[in-house]
Amino acid sequence: MRAFRKIISVIALLVLIFSAEAKQPFYNVLDYGAKGDGKTNCTKAINAAIAAASKKGGGTVFFPAGNFLSYTIRLKSNITLHLSQGAVLIGDQEKDGVGYDLPEEDAWYKKFQDFGHSFWRNSLIYGDSLRDIAIEGHGMIWGRGLYTYDKPEIKGSGNKAIGLKNCFNVTIRDISILHGGHFCILATGVDNLTIDNVRVDADRDGFDIDCCKNVRISNCNINSPTDDGLCLKSSFGLGYARATENVTITNCHIYGYDHGTLMDGTFKTDFKDETPDAKHSITGRLKLGTESNGGFKNIAVSNCVFEHSRGICIETADGGRIEDIVMDNITMRDITDTPFFIRLNARMRGPEGTPVGVCRRITLSNINVYDVGGRPKFPEVGAGMVMGIPGYYIEDVTLSNIRIYYRAGASKEAVTKEVPQHIDMYPDPYRWHSLPAYGMYFRYVKGLRVNDVVLRYLNRDERPAFVLDEVHNARFYNVDAQKGEGAPQFILKNVTNFSTRDVSGVRDGQIEKAEMKEL
């Protein structure tokens, strides 16, 4: 009898739960005049459904299966956009000046970042100063009418699939985005942001997470052949410097295959970086920067896969502080330039008087890379790079349990080529077409730990595995690096407090000071 009563109680509770869910506000865009015929522009109908939901305190705006053309959709607080399986929200092409909302009025600080980072209204889905919003479902956003470059001269043009500013409690889950314009997702000043199980086939940037706090990105597939795949930024777009902090990125795949070939599953590579006349443009990387006014703090990246793309970039160029970065359990294959690039320089695109930034406490661990760099156009590109500038050092870097196979193939002449400083330029690995090391190049670094590292090359290379220039307090432990006959393992320039233990081809020992030394 007691068991029967318990069953009745459970059934009653479930009835109450499902009844409560059934009463949740639900707004079908078809009921407000939308047509999923792929011909009718549904902007007014979609915004009417959102307005009706908002008037009642919030709810779910539902897109059934169909093709819905639209210009700017203006989100409101407490609204969920749900794209059901088979629903495609299509960014329509502007016509005769009618199209997406116009960008915000020019601000004095727009000069401190690219045009796209100063405007949000000219998006397919737009929200400013909202809270408790979501974009979800197994449908697709197709930015067919969005531009990949800024077109302010074209009235009504749009260039972002999703543009959010100063929002709180935002979830983007399970959707797909095809050709999202300049940005598939641009989130600026968005706190408590969750992006989960999102598939992106971008024609420029995938995710740009700018000046955001408390961010979780997980289980995403991002294909971005001509720009950054997953990019954390800290621009001056809000009118003040704000850090991007407390971010976790996990279980993501990042690619640089041809446009659209992730979504259709073909993963084509018709464009080759290897052709002599090709631009060095295959990108698809994970990057912190280049906009870096506010800096980055407490960033953890784990369990990610990179393929046919670039690797990891950590950059502060505009005065921001990069502190406490951990990247762990990463595998890469077919990497076009460098597996990792850590850079502190002084582009200083920001308010006058801003000091040069800080870059410290960075750990890269458990990384496996195969077939990196060494393309015919730039055979000397491929080494991992950690570089500050004169007077400003990158501090406390640990590289642990790393295995890398390089294409390599450079001659000994590359060792003597000058490595430019590029102090005030846009920081990107492609600027350094020649490096004197095939494996890792360090310059202006204090506090370096390299342990449990294996380096190999697939083509004969006469450069050393490691070059250290203006590096202080460096320890190498349990390192197995291949080297050519007659080539040193290390070249040390202006190095102090350098020690080795269990390094192949080098005796255990410590060097207090070396102005120029080969080991």
* Nearest C-alpha neighbor of 161 from the set 260, 240, 90, 75: 90
Cβ atoms 470, 493 nearer than 8 A: yes
Query: Which of 20-24, 293-297, 318-322, 330-334 has the weakest average pLDDT?
Result: 20-24
pLDDT score of 55: 97
CA distance 35 to 274: 46
Given the structure tokens 């706190």, which residue do they identify? Answer: 191
- 3-state class (DSSP) for residue 138: coil
pLDDT score of 376: 74
Local structure of residue 258 (DSSP, 8 states)? S
- Using one digit for the tens of pLDDT, what is the confidence trace for 406-455? 999 988 888 998 999 999 999 999 898 889 999 999 999 999 999 999 99
- 3-state class (DSSP) for residue 465: coil
Beta strand 490-503 pairing with 509-518: antiparallel
User: What is the C-alpha end-to-end distance of the chain, expressed in Å?
Assistant: 84
- Name, in order, each residue with C-beta under 8 angstroms of 23's C-beta and a sequence gap of 6 or more: none
Q: Which amino acid, residue 410? A: A
**Whether residue 499 has pLDDT greater than 90:** yes
Given the structure tokens 């595995």, which residue do they identify? Answer: 465
CA distance 47 to 73: 6
* Residue 185 CB-density burial (10 A; 0-12 exposed, 13-18 middle, 19+ buried): buried
CA distance 150 to 418: 37
**Whether residue 176 has pLDDT greater than 80:** yes
**Whether residue 276 has pLDDT greater than 80:** no
Q: How many CB atoms lie within 10 A of CB 418?
A: 7
Instruction: Tell how far CA 197 is from the center of its chain.
Output: 16
- Name, in order, each residue with C-beta under 8 angstroms of 416's C-beta and a sequence gap of 6 or more: 436
- Using one digit for the tens of pLDDT, what is the confidence trace for 222-261? 999 999 999 999 999 999 999 999 999 999 999 999 999 9
**Whether residue 60 has pLDDT greater than 80:** yes
pLDDT score of 76: 98
Q: Which amino acid, residue 298? A: N
pLDDT score of 40: 98
**Whether residue 381 has pLDDT greater than 90:** no
Q: Which amino acid, residue 426? A: Y
What are the backbone angles phi and psi of residue 458, rounded to the nearest 5°? Answer: -95, -20
Cβ atoms 215, 245 nearer than 8 A: no
pLDDT category, 11, cuts 50, 70, 90?
A: low
**Whether residue 75 has pLDDT greater than 60:** yes
Please give the CATH architecture assigned to the domain spanning 24-518.
3 Solenoid (2.160)
What are the backbone angles phi and psi of residue 198, rounded to the nearest 5°? Answer: -105, 135
pLDDT score of 7: 55
User: DSSP characters for 336-391?
Assistant: SS-SEEEEE-----SSTTPPP-EEEEEEEEEEEEEEES-BTTBTT---EEEE-BTT
- Segment 168-174 mean pLDDT: 98
> What is the chain's length?
519
**Whether residue 466 has pLDDT greater than 90:** yes
Token duo for residue 324: 């406490």
pLDDT score of 17: 40
pLDDT category, 12, cuts 50, 70, 90?
A: very low
Domain spans, the chain: 24-518
CA distance 402 to 385: 14
Q: Which amino acid, residue 283? A: T
Cβ atoms 53, 60 nearer than 8 A: yes
Cβ atoms 406, 380 nearer than 8 A: no
CA distance 80 to 131: 11
pLDDT score of 281: 60
CA distance 210 to 233: 4
pLDDT category, 2, cuts 50, 70, 90?
A: low
Beta strand 176-178 pairing with 199-201: parallel
- Using one digit for the tens of pLDDT, what is the confidence trace for 115-152? 889 999 999 999 999 999 999 999 999 999 999 988 88
CA distance 468 to 265: 43
Given the structure tokens 């506010």, which residue do they identify? Answer: 294
The proportion of the chain whose per-residue pLDDT surpasses 90, expressed as a percent, equals 84
pLDDT category, 377, cuts 50, 70, 90?
A: confident
Given the structure tokens 């994970």, which residue do they identify? Answer: 286
* Nearest C-alpha neighbor of 468 from the set 456, 476, 459: 476
Query: Which of 71-75, 375-379, 503-507 has the weakest average pLDDT?
Result: 375-379
